[in-house]
Amino acid sequence: EFGVGKTTLVKLVYENSEVKKHFMFCAWIVLTQYFKTGDLLKDIVQQLYHVLREPSPEGIDTMSDHELRVEINKFLQQRRYLIVLDDVWNNDAWNTFKHAFPNNKEGSRILLTTRRSEVAKNASIESPDKVYALNPLSSEEAWTLFCRKTFRSNSCPPHLENVSQQILGRCEGLPLALSS
């Protein structure tokens, strides 16, 4: 579901200093609905080499998608890494990237956000218990968030309660809608 806070939650994990210390290499990739595979693979390579403060491999701009996947896989082979694939729209998108990341038994992790449960299930075939579904906020939680964001308080001015309730109804408990 759109707007329940998947990206926000994963970003908090990704940016946590304890998490960063645990992994040698981290990369964050946003997959829009219409992405260019080669561009995103190059972005991953550049993010990984940036951590080493080294230039990306020569010829990266002319590498095929397959060569880029091999480069990423080779780079990560003996290293513990965290890769975030944010907003994966379909199984094809996941299948495009999954072979770039080695299952190297080094404690590496891939975090994936998606609004489609079938994509999450497909991506976690080896560990189905690692799929977490986020739900919209309850009415009480939504009201509290709305008041804090709108009025910088835990309550709403009495003369604005009716219109606030109407707005809240349209937001359907989605934190992104309530915060915008």
Show me where the domains of the chain are located: 6-130, 139-179
| Assessment of whether the complete model's pTM goes beyond 0.85 | no
Predicted local confidence at residue 44, as pLDDT = 92
Query: Treating both helix axes as pointing N-terminal to C-terminal, what angle do 161-171 and 139-151 enclose, rounded to 10 degrees?
Result: 120
pLDDT in tens, 27-51: 999 988 888 999 999 999 999 999 8
DSSP, residue by residue, 88-128: --SHHHHHHHHTTS---SSS-EEEE--S-HHHHHHHTTT-G
- Rounded average pLDDT over 140-160: 84
pLDDT at 98 over 70: yes
| CATH level 2 (architecture), domain 6-130 | 3-Layer(aba) Sandwich (3.40)
Element (H, E) at 26: strand 25-30
Per-residue confidence at 131, pLDDT binned at 50, 70, 90? confident
Predicted local confidence at residue 34, as pLDDT = 87
What DSSP designation does 28 have? E
> Are 115 and 2 spatial neighbours (Cβ–Cβ below 8 Å)?
yes
Query: Among residues 92, 84, 83, 141, which one has the least CA distance to residue 116?
Result: 92
Pick the more confident residue, 81 or 138: 81
